[in-house]
Structure 1
Amino acid sequence: MLIGDVARHSGVSTRMLRHYDALGLVRPTGRTAGGYREYTAEDVRRIFHVESLRSLGLSLKQVGRVLEDPASTPSAVVGDLIRWTEERLAREQELLARLRVIDASAPAAWQGVLRMVELMQGLDSNSSARRHQAVLNARSEGVSIPAGLLADAVLAESDPNVAGALRWALARSGGDSVATLAAGVHSGDVDIRRRAVLAITEMPEGSDTTAVLAEALADSDTTVRRHAALELGRRGMTAAVPVLVGMVVEGSHDVDAAEVLGALSRDHGCAGLITTALAAELASPTADSAMRIRLAQALFELSGTAAREALRQLAHDDARDVALVASAFVGVLEARSHEGPGDGSPESA
């Protein structure tokens, strides 16, 4: 079969067939008396083999290696193609994300595009110092960083200084990043969940962020739960009380937890609930003197007669250090009560 006939039957142009011949991919077995290429049935089958491999994404060079390697198996070739395709798609997705970030920044001139590219390159740097500098430069130059870019950077950032700068910028970006952070709160990576919930605690208060924090109260990680509880308590959510009481018991940010419990007791009418929870911990057989002192400090922050009565009982505690601390707290509260309302104390609030 002459080259023209092969081209008509295979759909491969004569130009491409000559190219295959020059590369050694498909060389016609014979020549006519006039010197024209003459293809056998086996040559035509090889042409279709080449075309099939090309359709899967192999380059002509790769096709040549596959055809010449007797150890090459279909499963190995297809496996390589899957890996290469996944890598290419990842690069394309990364490019698409960058283009969307640039589009979201609504640049009015090419200088804006170049500045955004520079910022993204800075945030992608392996150097924490360079990432930090990229954020600081953007802030000092008044560059508007899209909230989506900031949220992604926050979830990926492990350096505490850079993370703090990113959260600061994100909280002031005014963009919609809650969905990205919410996805981070549900991540299987505990470090990402911690970064996400911490970022949400610094966002402006809203029902959407409150709902995400409420879900985080049930997280398996204590750090995630504690971050969520402190912020929810500040927002007046009594659902945070059990975690906050647990923080006092465990001695983890217990001073902050006690202050939040005190504010909840005064501003949201749940002094009885909190006092009951603290009293239950005092009655626990595992409540050593250090824990009872922390519980006394938390009771001191509360409003209401029940909390004061619990402190009076602790003033007679068998452990001298606990009794001394509780007695001091009772004395302070009694002095404040004699001063009258309006002095800013828990009892007068």
Structure 2
Amino acid sequence: MLIGEVSRRSGVSVRMLRYYDRIGLLRPSGRSDSGYRRYETEDLRRLFRVEALRSLGLSLEQVGRALDDPGFDAARMLSELIDRRVRRIAAERELLTRLREIESSGPHSWQEALSAVDLLSGLRSGRSDERQAAALRSGITAAAPDPLIGIYLSEPEEAVAGSLRWSIARAGEAAVPTLAAHLSDPVTAVRRRAVHALGEIDGPAAADALAGALADADPSTAGLAAILLVSRDISSPGIPLSVVCAPLVRLVVAGQSDVEAAEALGSLASHSARAAGRITQELVEQLAVPDSAGRSRIVQALGEIPGDGATAVLLELADDPDEEVSRVARYLSAGRLRGDLGGAPQGRR
């Protein structure tokens, strides 16, 4: 079979076939009556192998070695090809993500698109100071906060994340749907970041999303949602007191953000005598915990609760056999009886 016919049947150009011949990768082994080189059956079989190996990503040099070198390490070459392809796919995915981020920022001109590219490049810098600067100068969030939210949720530096959170808050409730969607993320740190950002956004949609996070499986995430909700003064609309109270009590017992949790309980209790009584009961029920530090924290939280009920419990705990518990209870109850600590006693000064 002459070169033109081989080209037509194989789809390999005449130019490429001649190049294969020149470098010794595929040389026709026959001759026609007129002296032209002719491809025999074995040559065609080799051509198909060459093209098959090239389709896997091998260079022409590697193809030649694979076909002619008995010691060629096929397993190692396949491993290298897989690694190379994985890196290429990752790069393509990163490019696609960037393009979608730029698109979602809503540029109306190439100048705006270039500004978005500059901002997103800064936010993805390997240097935290450059990411911080980019976060502080963010100008795309008010209209389209989604790109910034994705970067914020994966930012390793807390200081940079704080600046990103500030930028996201500027978007207002436009950022709530995306943040709320991440409240079901399997990664606890991502859910906690989303809760924190929601806490800095005003409006009922953000409050509703935070209320949903009260049931988070992670106690610190649920507790953070409760603290942020209480800071909004959620005394009325449809969130049962027990639902907000429970994660705060768990934080106190566990010693995680217990000061903030106790203060939030005190704020909730200040709404009514009924609320104060209910929260006092919730805390008293936790005094059965075995560790002294946990019981001491519960006593300190009781010091935040206004009303005679909490005072009576503190007076009783002043005689507790645990020395640390009794010491804290005596101090708090004495202050309440003197009136030094006011109507909503503060257990910490």
Query: TM class, shorter-chain normalised?
Result: 0.7 to 0.9
Whichever residue aligns with residue 15 of structure 1, its letter is: R
State whether structure 2 residue 251 is matched by structure 1 residue 254: no
C-alpha separation in 1, matches of 2:84 and 2:342: 76
Greater shift, 10-19 or 113-122, is seen at 10-19
C-alpha separation in 1, matches of 2:309 and 2:275: 12
Mapped contact 1:311–1:330 kept (Cα < 8 A): no
Whichever residue aligns with residue 331 of structure 2, its letter is: L
Mapped contact 1:185–1:197 kept (Cα < 8 A): no
Give 2:223's aligned residue.
226
Go from structure 1 to structure 2 and tell me whether the alpha carbon gap of 1:250 and 1:105 turns closer, same or farther (over 3 Å shift): closer
C-alpha separation in 2, matches of 1:321 and 1:53: 78
Greater shift, 170-179 or 84-93, is seen at 170-179
C-alpha separation in 2, matches of 1:61 and 1:146: 49
Give 1:49's aligned residue.
49
C-alpha displacement of 1:2: 1.7
Normalised to the residue count of structure 1, the TM-score between the two structures is: 0.79
Whichever residue aligns with residue 195 of structure 1, its letter is: R
Mapped contact 1:185–1:194 kept (Cα < 8 A): no
- Classify the secondary structure of the residue corresponding to 2:114: helix
C-alpha displacement of 1:214: 2.6
Go from structure 1 to structure 2 and tell me whether the alpha carbon gap of 1:335 and 1:149 turns closer, same or farther (over 3 Å shift): closer
Q: How does 1:204-219 map to 2 (within 5 A)?
A: 204=202, 205-206=204-205, 209-210=209-210, 212-216=212-216, 218-219=217-218
Say how many residue pairs are matched.
330
Go from structure 1 to structure 2 and tell me whether the alpha carbon gap of 1:285 and 1:251 turns closer, same or farther (over 3 Å shift): closer
Specify every segment of 5 or more residues in structure 1 that has no aligned partner in the other structure, as ranges. Answer: 337-344
Greater shift, 119-128 or 194-203, is seen at 194-203
Go from structure 1 to structure 2 and tell me whether the alpha carbon gap of 1:156 and 1:45 turns closer, same or farther (over 3 Å shift): same
Give 1:276's aligned residue.
281
C-alpha separation in 2, matches of 1:150 and 1:96: 16
- Classify the secondary structure of the residue corresponding to 1:252: coil
C-alpha displacement of 1:135: 1.3
Go from structure 1 to structure 2 and tell me whether the alpha carbon gap of 1:52 and 1:285 turns closer, same or farther (over 3 Å shift): closer
State whether structure 2 residue 336 is matched by structure 1 residue 329: yes
Mapped contact 2:104–2:147 kept (Cα < 8 A): no
Give 1:158's aligned residue.
156
Normalised to the residue count of structure 2, the TM-score between the two structures is: 0.79
Specify every segment of 5 or more residues in structure 2 that has no aligned partner in the other structure, as ranges. Answer: none
Greater shift, 172-181 or 149-158, is seen at 172-181
- Classify the secondary structure of the residue corresponding to 1:138: coil
Q: Percent identity?
A: 41
Give 2:199's aligned residue.
201
Greater shift, 272-281 or 233-242, is seen at 233-242
C-alpha separation in 2, matches of 1:132 and 1:18: 57
Whichever residue aligns with residue 325 of structure 1, its letter is: L
Mapped contact 1:105–1:146 kept (Cα < 8 A): yes
Go from structure 1 to structure 2 and tell me whether the alpha carbon gap of 1:171 and 1:17 turns closer, same or farther (over 3 Å shift): same
1:186-243 alpha-carbon deviations (Å, 9 max, x no partner): 334x544443443343344526623551342x22xx5434323423454465324233
C-alpha displacement of 1:169: 0.8
1:309-339 alpha-carbon deviations (Å, 9 max, x no partner): 2234345556345313222123328975xxx
Greater shift, 67-76 or 271-280, is seen at 67-76
Mapped contact 2:146–2:178 kept (Cα < 8 A): no
Give 1:339's aligned residue.
none
C-alpha separation in 2, matches of 1:196 and 1:68: 58
Mapped contact 1:147–1:170 kept (Cα < 8 A): yes
- Classify the secondary structure of the residue corresponding to 2:138: helix
State whether structure 2 residue 138 is matched by structure 1 residue 138: yes
Go from structure 1 to structure 2 and tell me whether the alpha carbon gap of 1:307 and 1:325 turns closer, same or farther (over 3 Å shift): closer
Whichever residue aligns with residue 286 of structure 2, its letter is: E
Whichever residue aligns with residue 256 of structure 2, its letter is: S
C-alpha separation in 2, matches of 1:30 and 1:201: 80
Whichever residue aligns with residue 3 of structure 1, its letter is: I
Give 2:304's aligned residue.
301
Give 2:186's aligned residue.
187
Go from structure 1 to structure 2 and tell me whether the alpha carbon gap of 1:88 and 1:311 turns closer, same or farther (over 3 Å shift): same
